[in-house]
Amino acid sequence: MRIIAVTAGKGGVGKTTLTANLGVALCQLGFRVCVIDANFTAPDLAIHFGFSPETTIWEVLKGKEGLDNALYEHACGVHIIPGSQDMEVATNRETYKRLKRKMRKLKYDFVILDTPPGLGEDARAALIPAKEVLVVATPEWTSLANAYRAMLFAQQMNKQVLGMVLNRASAHELEPNPMMVEHVIGTQVLATIPEDIHVRKSVSLQNPVCLAYPNSESARQFRKVAHYLGGLPWHEKLPWWQRLFTFVGKV
């Protein structure tokens, strides 16, 4: 079972969006997938899937409920363990050690953890249950600097950093491109998610973009990351209208 933490050096870069869509994309490839909202102080993962849970991971960690009672299955097949909206939730290293022990009962191909953003103690502690880490950043040097520090924290904890996903990219000439990022940060850029209105619409619909708008470029890039994690070749064919636009743009 591969346990992957999705982390970011700062908030607002699309960490939860990546977690949700990566879970869906891996599930669509035939893997058994569970996504866990390990961001206990600001849990939003359930919202992305359009439900309000009665039982959350917090009741499980407090010993009030069994892990099976906090598992929810989405129509697409991905399983979700939501976080708690309880404002009294307090987290520390022991909390995430308990989560790691509880996760031993899970039997999936992939478990994806949506962790707290930032560089604080809770963000670092949230990496404890994971074996691998995926870093998210926007193509801005401030975001990339924080992502680099998050990557260093993960490496200090002996976690394998799989690479980075650049989100909300606009392809502006002043924006660092993937090659520049790889040279400066020293890790592979697995995908570049464009600034896409379909992502905003999908969040409003509470349905991941890989389901709501599967032909969008953002959905395609999420699937690219899923193929990489699954060890599958990436050769998805663009729809004819996207190939036409690409061809016209090169003329």
- Tally of CB atoms within 10 A around 52: 8
SS3 110: strand
Taking alpha carbons only, the member of 121, 69, 71 closest to residue 96 is 121
pLDDT at 78 over 90: yes
Q: What is the pTM of this model?
A: 0.90
Domains and CATH numbers, the chain: 2-250 (3.40.50.300)
Q: How does residue 14 score in pLDDT terms, banded at 50, 70 and 90?
A: very high
| Token pair for 142 | 């401030």
Read off φ and ψ for residue 41, nearest 5 degrees: -85, -25
Cα angle vertex 30, ends 28, 32, to 5°?
A: 100
Taking alpha carbons only, the member of 76, 66, 62, 97 closest to residue 34 is 76
Mode of pairing for the β-strands spanning 2-8 and 110-114: parallel
**Any residues with CB less than 8 A from the CB of 138 and at least 6 apart, and which?**
13, 14, 166, 167, 168, 169
pLDDT at residue 249, as a whole number: 46
pLDDT at residue 90, as a whole number: 63
Mean pLDDT of 49-61: 89
| Token pair for 90 | 């307090």
Q: How does residue 242 score in pLDDT terms, banded at 50, 70 and 90?
A: low
- Judged by average pLDDT, the poorest of 20-29, 40-49, 197-206, 218-227 is 40-49
pLDDT at residue 119, as a whole number: 86
Q: How does residue 238 score in pLDDT terms, banded at 50, 70 and 90?
A: low
Q: How far is CA 175 from CA 14, 138, 180, 189, in A?
A: 17, 10, 10, 15
pLDDT at residue 244, as a whole number: 58
Alpha-carbon span 45 to 220, nearest angstrom: 21
Highest average pLDDT, of 22-36, 71-85, 111-125, 174-188, comes from: 22-36
Q: Decide: residue 248, CB within 10 A, 0-12 exposed, 13-18 middle, 19+ buried.
A: exposed
